[in-house]
Amino acid sequence: MKRKQLVIGLFGFGNVGQGLCDVLRRVNPDNVRIARACVRNTKKHRDAPVPITDKADDIFNDPEINLIVELIDDADAAYVIVERALRQGIPVVSGNKKMLAYHIMDLIELQRLTGTALLYDASACGSIPVIRNLEEYYDNDLLISVKGILNGSSNFILSKIFNEGMDYSEALSIAQRLGFAESNPTLDVDGWDSLFKLVIITIHAFGVYVRPEEIFTFGIGRMTADDIRFANEKRRRIKLVGCAEKLGDDKLALTVMPQLISKQKYIYSVEDEFNGIVIKGMFYYKQFMFGRGAGGHPTGSSVLSDITAQTYDYRYEYKKLNSGHTPTYTTDFIFRIYYRYTTEGERHLLTFENINESYKSATYNYIVGDICLSELIRNADTLRRAEVFVAAYPAD
């Protein structure tokens, strides 16, 4: 079979865009070439290995270009590019998780109306082919949960702190230097990047779309030495975990928050910028996907995989979303947390269903107890602003 020739118009020449160019240079496929890259500042990229422009029209008006690859940082600008490409009938590969998390439903509809594909495996978990697997292999009702480490930078920081005793800010600056972190690293450490990925994953795992602001999201930015000591004393590690979990047949709970992970869990040993996703289902119990979740080359290779999929006109079918029997998002879910607080006001911020353990001293106070997810969501903004730390603390 003759393979389709792809001529790419690339938007963005940052870490992932450069990673993609390098991967393509080394693989040198005879049916894929980048015609031009559109960047904000052409002076900055004078040495780029492909022709560059700062005008989107140079790409959209080039009749040779039959695939847009969008790898820019700005979610609003990314949406404009992706929407325009689909309306012009040009398939798109995108890596912009924030843009997808907010606009995915519109873009699914636009794909249907235009008959044009949008692929974005690179948007979630770097080199791990999670979306296409959830879409194709897990195309049934057996899935119970999809949980894991979805952000490489925060995991890198946690690894350096727990394994090497490194200081938080030093670990963060190394993650930035190595090109794992977002240009605004609070997206990584405060859980937003994991949240966007979880929203995308949940569409393909369970056929359910939940707007990002409806999901409880708490990061590792407020973690202190006391929290690390607590985890060590309990022989656990703190990991930032995105979790989509079915409760019974027809309800689905979603969270992004630190978790105290015990040694027997697969993700306990996921270190550095690696991501790890545990897929739990009926009859097969658990499966584990593991790989590099950040960085120019791993993510560039995932973009290449989406590009290659375009050579045979692959597109997501959203079979679960369209199945008519999807679970309903619920926040009525009780689970155990560790809550470290400073003031009495913060102590009474949360109403627990049940308190298992509490500790108070002049400098360190905590509660371990069961709480309803809706209670955390109700207080989410206040918790994120306060000097507190919240982590899920599962029994095993």
**Burial readout 230-241 (b: 16 or more C-beta within 10 A, e: otherwise):** bbeeeebbbbbb
CB of 152 to ligand HSE, least distance (A): 4
Segment lying near ligand HSE (by CB under 6 A), choices 4-12, 105-113, 150-158, 300-308: 150-158
CB of 153 to ligand HSE, least distance (A): 3
Out of 188, 227, 346, 375, the only residue in the binding site for ligand HSE (CB under 6 A) is: 188
Please provide residue 356's backbone torsions phi and psi, each rounded to the nearest 5 degrees.
-95, -30
E strand map for the chain: 6-11, 32-38, 52-53, 67-70, 92-94, 118-119, 143-149, 216-217, 236-247, 251-262, 274-281, 285-292, 328-329, 334-341, 354-360, 365-372, 389-392
CB of 82 to ligand HSE, least distance (A): 17
- Tell me the number of residues near ligand HSE by CB under 6 A: 11
Residue 49: CB partners within 8 Å, gap ≥ 6? 21, 25
Q: For residue 379, what are its two tokens?
A: 């207080």
Task: Identify which of residues 175 and 383 has a Cβ nearer to ligand HSE in the complex.
Answer: 175
Question: Is 320 assigned a catalytic role?
Answer: no
Segment lying near ligand HSE (by CB under 6 A), choices 59-67, 174-182, 304-312, 336-344: 174-182
Q: How many angstroms separate the CA atoms of 190 and 385, rounded?
A: 11
Task: Identify which of residues 193 and 346 has a Cβ nearer to ligand HSE in the complex.
Answer: 193
Task: Identify which of residues 24 and 187 has a Cβ nearer to ligand HSE in the complex.
Answer: 187
Q: How many residues does the chain have?
A: 396
Segment lying near ligand HSE (by CB under 6 A), choices 72-80, 145-153, 229-237, 347-355: 145-153
First to last CA, the chain: 52
CB of 344 to ligand HSE, least distance (A): 36
What is residue 266's three-state secondary structure? Answer: helix
* 217 touching ligand HSE, by CB under 6 A: no
116 by Cβ neighbours in 10 Å (0-12 / 13-18 / 19+) ranks as: middle
* 152 touching ligand HSE, by CB under 6 A: yes
**Catalytic residue, candidates 160, 197, 246, 265:** 197
Out of 23, 198, 294, 390, the only residue in the binding site for ligand HSE (CB under 6 A) is: 294
Q: How many angstroms separate the CA atoms of 374 and 339, rounded?
A: 16
* 179 touching ligand HSE, by CB under 6 A: no
Q: How many angstroms separate the CA atoms of 343 and 305, rounded?
A: 51
Closest to 217 in 3D by CA, of 196, 203, 247, 236: 196
Segment lying near ligand HSE (by CB under 6 A), choices 55-63, 147-155, 161-169, 313-321: 147-155
10 neighbors 92 (Cβ within 8 angstroms) = no
Out of 182, 190, 245, 272, the only residue in the binding site for ligand HSE (CB under 6 A) is: 182
CB of 289 to ligand HSE, least distance (A): 15
Segment lying near ligand HSE (by CB under 6 A), choices 54-62, 69-77, 149-157, 334-342: 149-157
CB of 135 to ligand HSE, least distance (A): 19
* 272 touching ligand HSE, by CB under 6 A: no
Please provide residue 188's backbone torsions phi and psi, each rounded to the nearest 5 degrees.
-75, -55
Task: Identify which of residues 194 and 331 has a Cβ nearer to ligand HSE in the complex.
Answer: 194
Contact residues for ligand HSE (CB under 6 A)? Answer: 126, 151-153, 180-182, 188, 193, 293-294
Q: List active site positions.
A: 197
